[in-house]
């Protein structure tokens, strides 16, 4: 099967629907009708995407996460789907307004919007649209971080993909010293190291250290502490300490995971823009 281009994201990412013709007396009525419109939109969304790509996988909503503004004037649904769990939709509006909005998922595939291109447009959005985007991006971060930390795919945590683990196992095997129990311990050791690197990356992002965070996963021996310059004696002592190996070099097949992790930087930067302009 020929691989499809990943540069298929949509520039139009917010759709508006006028429901002034409907008599919706309560907040509950407004939310129920909004969900109904979303389901109708999703049906059309699937058809349009299948026309663009016959291999497009239709999606089904699995949960509707409701949030309201502190003044209870606006509602926001974040809608998680299966598949594409990392790419939620946003459905939102103002209770006393006749317009509701649907925001398609962030990503770089068919039917998704490119966050790096949307970033420059954030300042032109209305307050309600900024809040809708804010809630969508916050959930996107939560979903993606959870899935990365709990990643179980063999191509990431398997010893055969972790350079240091692979070398250690090969060395022991050549000396006929490798047992199944020892292999399991080595596998766990390096899988934990990869997981720890991913967690450290996320912690750096939460602190707003975007440049350091990116360096940490693509360059070896990055100092992520805030400590002042080390004394000469400490520096000399540190020469005997093994250098930190970044994820890019720790994993044989790192391109995909690095690409997915770097996207988080753009998401956090967008949230910063929203916070500074809302």
**What are the residues whose beta carbons fall under 8 Å from the beta carbon of 59, sequence distance 6 or more?**
42, 46, 81, 82, 83, 84
For 33-53, write each residue's pLDDT tens digit. Answer: 999 999 999 999 999 999 999
- Phi-psi label, residue 9: left if phi above 0, alpha if psi -120 to 50, beta otherwise: beta
Residue carrying the six token digits 């992002």: 205
pLDDT band at 228 (very low <50, low <70, confident <90, very high): very low
Structure token pair of residue 61: 């909503």
For 182-220, write each residue's pLDDT tens digit. Answer: 999 999 999 999 989 999 999 999 999 999 999 999 999
For 139-155, write each residue's pLDDT tens digit. Answer: 999 999 988 777 656 67
Q: How far apart are alpha carbons 155 and 153 in whole angstroms? A: 5
Structure token pair of residue 136: 């969508």
User: CA separation (Å) from 109 to 28, 80, 106?
Assistant: 34, 17, 9
Q: What is the DSSP letter of 216?
A: H
Three-state secondary structure call for residue 261? helix
């Amino acid at each position: 099967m020929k691989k499809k281009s990943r540069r298929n994201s949509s520039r139009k990412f917010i759709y508006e629907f006028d429901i002034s013709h409907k008599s919706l007396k309560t907040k509950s009525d407004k939310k129920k009708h909004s969900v109904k419109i979303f389901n109708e939109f999703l049906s059309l969304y699937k058809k349009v995407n299948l026309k663009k790509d016959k291999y497009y996988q239709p999606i089904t909503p699995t949960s509707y996460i409701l949030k309201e503004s502190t003044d209870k004037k606006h509602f926001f649904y974040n809608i998680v789907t299966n598949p594409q769990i990392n790419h939620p939709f946003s459905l939102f509006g103002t209770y006393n307004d006749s317009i509701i909005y649907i925001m398609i998922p962030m990503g770089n595939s068919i039917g998704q919007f490119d966050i790096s291109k949307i970033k420059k447009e954030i300042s032109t959005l209305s307050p309600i649209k900024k809040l809708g985007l804010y809630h969508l991006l916050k959930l996107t971060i939560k979903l993606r971080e959870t899935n990365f930390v709990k990643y179980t795919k063999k191509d990431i945590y398997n010893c055969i993909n972790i350079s240091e683990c692979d070398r250690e196992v090969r060395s022991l095997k050549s000396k006929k010293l490798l047992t199944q129990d020892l292999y399991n311990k080595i596998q766990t050791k390096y899988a934990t190291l990869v997981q720890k690197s991913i967690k450290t990356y996320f912690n750096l992002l939460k602190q707003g250290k975007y440049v350091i965070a990116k360096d940490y996963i693509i360059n070896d021996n990055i100092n992520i502490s805030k400590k002042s310059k080390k004394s000469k004696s400490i520096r000399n002592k540190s020469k005997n300490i093994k250098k930190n190996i970044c994820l890019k070099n720790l994993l044989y097949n790192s391109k995909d995971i690095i690409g997915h992790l770097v996207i988080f930087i753009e998401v956090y930067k967008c949230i910063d823009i929203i916070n500074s302009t809302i």
